[in-house]
Structure 1
Amino acid sequence: MDLHYEIKGSGKPIILLHSGAMDSRDWEFITPHLSKSFKVITLDVRGAGKSPVPNEPIDYVEDLRKLLDHLKIKKGALVGHSLGGQIATDFTLTYPKGVSQLVLVAPGLSGFKFSSEHAELESRVSKAAPDVEKMINITLNEPSWSVSFGKAYDLLREMMIHNIQKTFDWKTFKTASSNSAMERLGKIKTKTLFIIGENDSEDLFKIAQLYTEIPNINFVRIPGANHIITLTHPKEVSDHISHFLSLLEW
């Protein structure tokens, strides 16, 4: 297994999948809570954190499957934030028997077309390259990504500096082709929890509406939180995840 991962705690397995521009430290304030009751696996996806840069199109789903096979985990709960939520959804559609519960924290969704405003933001960030500080400042000026100064702000900047710089060494930005999840959400039978901050972007609330197609899904909206909810509201996120997982059969 060439991907970096860490395991803390014991019990039923939970795999935590981080947001884009971040790495497994996305869960740094949450893992201590969850590891009291569960076996928590945090992963740096390919191209992020301590994992290697991609030399060929990234297949996030197959990378996750290989990790679970490596750890001899036949079934576990998937918890994904943003890009990690998109990966968790795609994995659940591909390998439904391997997922006991699904927790989505402000997730992405394969097949979803983001707004022109989002595309314009991405364009401004891209044009600022290779000035990493400028790229980060443009992103953090976006209300759904803004974070007050403190531990959450410092950790977010640290992750973004590391992972943006790392992208300059990527050999490809392509991902392995897969079927869009957007038209297939109704096929997910896994019990699902969807967590979103009330101050997240309009695009994320449109995505949330699409996820209502999952038959067994519960929604939680956290006051005062935006897209960086895992860093700014770790106690609330941890409590909702723990409560949800404790109610269900594995």
Structure 2
Amino acid sequence: MTLAHDVAGNGPAVLLLHSSVCDRRMWDPQWPALRDAGYQVIRCDFRGFGGSPVPDQPYAEAQDVRDLLDALGVDRVALVGASFGGRVALEVAAHWPHRVAALTLICPALPGHVPGPELRDFDRREDELLESGDVAGAVELNVRTWLGPEADDATRIRVREMQRHAFDVQLAVDEDVAQLDLGEPDLGKITAPCLAISGRHDLPDFRQIAARLPTLLPDARHLELPWAGHLPSLERPAEATALVLDFLRQTWPA
């Protein structure tokens, strides 16, 4: 299965990987700016999000991303990943380092990360709400947790819609499908330069992951945004877009 996706523009390829709170629509603010800056911009929905159906056979998100690049004839790409999309970006860059030219990781998750108490508490509360049938309550928990103080009402409505759609799609399936085992990703094999961004208002897990990445990757630097929560590309889209474009111009120029 090829992931649902959009492609626009010409030039070096940039693939946008969304958070598990959202789908590919989270990149609406960045989409035209990257295209107009001279890039071929690609965005996709992971399985069970947006326009991609839930899986019906074993799968791995990183393999899905590689298969999408193959289908589009893209040999080398810069990856921009938010949260869960950041984790997938790291996995792709570790398994196929020759395919990845640059990494911009926005409040990323990390393969093998053991959740801290705040993240475990969020997971517990979300599970309780979903098990009780309170899907709306679970949606609101996600909106409150993952959007920082800079997010306006329109952004909160947009995230609410994306999260509700994901829950509706995923909860309609009775059984989970197993993940393919691609092997433990060796982050030391990543050759792409990396910008790891964190938000001061985010959960400690994601702040710590971003700060730790320069010790795990051969060429990485960390930047913390004092105004940001977990989704800065939606909270202050113009400022976040400028950061992404500046790093791409340094590492993967159009």
TM-score normalised to structure 1 length: 0.92
1:196–1:64 distance in 2 versus 1, CA, 3 Å = same
- In the alignment, the residues of structure 2 paired with residue 230 and residue 131 of structure 1 have an alpha-carbon distance, to the nearest angstrom, of 28
Q: Quick check: 2:47–2:54 contact (8 Å CA) kept in 1?
A: yes
CA-to-aligned-CA distance 1:219-245 (integer Å, 9 cap, x gap): 222221100212112112111111111
Secondary structure at 1:77's aligned position in 2?
A: strand
Secondary structure at 1:35's aligned position in 2?
A: helix
- In the alignment, the residues of structure 2 paired with residue 17 and residue 65 of structure 1 have an alpha-carbon distance, to the nearest angstrom, of 12
- In the alignment, the residues of structure 2 paired with residue 150 and residue 32 of structure 1 have an alpha-carbon distance, to the nearest angstrom, of 22
- In the alignment, the residues of structure 2 paired with residue 146 and residue 82 of structure 1 have an alpha-carbon distance, to the nearest angstrom, of 14
CA-to-aligned-CA distance 1:92-146 (integer Å, 9 cap, x gap): 000111111111111111100011331122111111113211111223333x435
Equivalent residue number for residue 21 of structure 1: 21
Q: Quick check: 2:105–2:194 contact (8 Å CA) kept in 1?
A: yes
Equivalent residue number for residue 166 of structure 2: 163
Equivalent residue number for residue 3 of structure 1: 3
**What is the letter of the counterpart of residue 165 of structure 1?**
D
Equivalent residue number for residue 225 of structure 2: 222
How many residues get paired?
A: 247
1:152-231 equivalences in 2 (<5 Å)? 152-170=155-173, 171-172=175-176, 174-181=178-185, 184-212=186-214, 213-231=216-234
Equivalent residue number for residue 83 of structure 2: 82
CA-to-aligned-CA distance 1:80-103 (integer Å, 9 cap, x gap): 101100000000000111111111
2:147 to 139, 145, 148: 145
1:8-157 equivalences in 2 (<5 Å)? 8-37=8-37, 38-129=39-130, 130-142=133-145, 144-146=146-148, 148-157=151-160
Q: Quick check: 2:13–2:78 contact (8 Å CA) kept in 1?
A: yes
CA-to-aligned-CA distance 1:6-39 (integer Å, 9 cap, x gap): 0122211100000003110111111121111211
**What is the letter of the counterpart of residue 8 of structure 2?**
K
- In the alignment, the residues of structure 2 paired with residue 124 and residue 248 of structure 1 have an alpha-carbon distance, to the nearest angstrom, of 41
- In the alignment, the residues of structure 1 paired with residue 164 and residue 148 of structure 2 have an alpha-carbon distance, to the nearest angstrom, of 16
User: CA shift at 1:166, angstroms?
Assistant: 0.9
TM-score normalised to structure 2 length: 0.91
Secondary structure at 2:36's aligned position in 1?
A: coil
**TM-align CA RMSD:** 1.8
Q: Quick check: 2:148–2:228 contact (8 Å CA) kept in 1?
A: no
Runs of 5+ consecutive residues of structure 2 not aligned to the other structure: none
Q: Quick check: 1:200–1:226 contact (8 Å CA) kept in 2?
A: yes
- In the alignment, the residues of structure 1 paired with residue 96 and residue 238 of structure 2 have an alpha-carbon distance, to the nearest angstrom, of 30
CA-to-aligned-CA distance 1:49-83 (integer Å, 9 cap, x gap): 00111112331111111101110000111111011
**What is the letter of the counterpart of residue 3 of structure 1?**
L
Higher normalized helix content (fraction of residues): 2
**What is the letter of the counterpart of residue 204 of structure 1?**
F
User: CA shift at 1:249, angstroms?
Assistant: 5.0
- In the alignment, the residues of structure 1 paired with residue 204 and residue 54 of structure 2 have an alpha-carbon distance, to the nearest angstrom, of 31
More deviation, 56-65/155-164: 56-65
**What is the letter of the counterpart of residue 241 of structure 2?**
S
